[in-house]
């Protein structure tokens, strides 16, 4: 069992206003606990807030986190976007809605 779990809560409006900063907040939270690197494991849409669980990382590799809006929320577009980003070594950790838009929460391991 994983001994460490931290929950980061972000207001959806803050994510939409500055997605780059929101990703940096998650990356910083993953490094904040000395001696125990952490990794985001998903996201949960609670309406106006997104909760992101951070768990102990399996290794010391760092990760960058990104929030981005999908061009539209059709199945074809979402699957295509997931494939394109996967080819760039990005993994979709979760998604949430803001108005009519579907947003993705992505992770990419970095050296």
What pLDDT is attached to residue 57? 84
Which of 21-35, 42-56, 92-106 is the least confident region?
21-35
C-beta separation of 50 from 8 below 8 A? no
Which domain, by its residues, includes 54? 5-110
Interval 57-87: pLDDT, tens: 878 788 999 999 999 999 999 999 999 999 9
Residue 66 CA: distances (Å) to CA of 2, 34, 35, 52, 90: 24, 23, 24, 13, 9
Helix, strand, or coil (residue 12):
helix
C-beta separation of 102 from 69 below 8 A? yes
Q: What is the DSSP string of 39-98?
A: EE---EE-SSEEEEEEEE-SSS-EEEEEEEE-S---HHHHHHHHHHHHHTTEEEEEEEEE
How many structural domains are present in the chain? 1
Interval 32-55: pLDDT, tens: 766 678 999 999 999 999 999 999
Question: Mean of the pLDDT values across residues 101-110?
Answer: 96
Q: How confident is the model at residue 2 (pLDDT cuts 50, 70, 90)?
A: low
Q: What 8-state DSSP symbol labels residue 21? A: H
Q: Quote the pTM value.
A: 0.90
Better-predicted residue by pLDDT, 3 or 64: 64
Looking at the chain, the whole-number percentage of residues with pLDDT higher than 70 is 95
Distance CA 90, CA 88 (A): 6
Question: Mean of the pLDDT values across residues 87-100?
Answer: 95
């Amino acid at each position: 069992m994983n001994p460490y779990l931290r929950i980061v809560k972000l207001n959806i409006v803050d994510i939409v206003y500055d997605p780059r900063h929101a990703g940096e907040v998650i990356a910083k939270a993953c490094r904040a606990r000395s001696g125990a690197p952490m990794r985001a494991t998903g996201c949960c849409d609670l309406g106006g807030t997104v909760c992101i669980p951070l768990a102990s990382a399996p290794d010391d590799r760092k990760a960058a986190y990104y929030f981005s809006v999908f061009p539209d929320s059709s199945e074809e577009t979402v699957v295509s976007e997931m494939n394109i980003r996967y080819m760039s070594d990005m993994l979709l950790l979760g998604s949430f809605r803001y108005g009519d838009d579907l947003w993705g929460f992505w992770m990419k391991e970095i050296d």
